[in-house]
Amino acid sequence: MREWEAFLPGEVCERLQRIMDVRYVIDLGIRTESISEDGKVVCTMDASDKINAMGGAHGGAIFTLADQAFALACNMGPEPQVALCVNMNFIRPGKGVLKAVASKVTETNKTSLCEVKVFDDGELIATFQGTSYKIGRKRS
Compute the distance between CA of residue 20 and CA of residue 22 in angstroms, rounded to an integer.
6
> What are the φ/ψ torsions at residue 111 (nearest 5 degrees)?
-135, 165
> Which pLDDT belongs to residue 34?
96
pLDDT at 140: 47
Task: Give the phi and the psi of residue 75 in degrees, each rounded to 5.
Answer: -100, 20
Burial of 53 (0-12, 13-18, 19+ CB in 10 A): exposed
List alpha helices for 5-133, DSSP H.
10-20, 23-28, 59-74
Closest CA to 128 of 57, 62, 51, 76: 62
pLDDT at 108: 94
Q: What is the pLDDT of residue 138?
A: 57
Q: Which residues of the chain have pLDDT under 70?
A: 1, 137-140
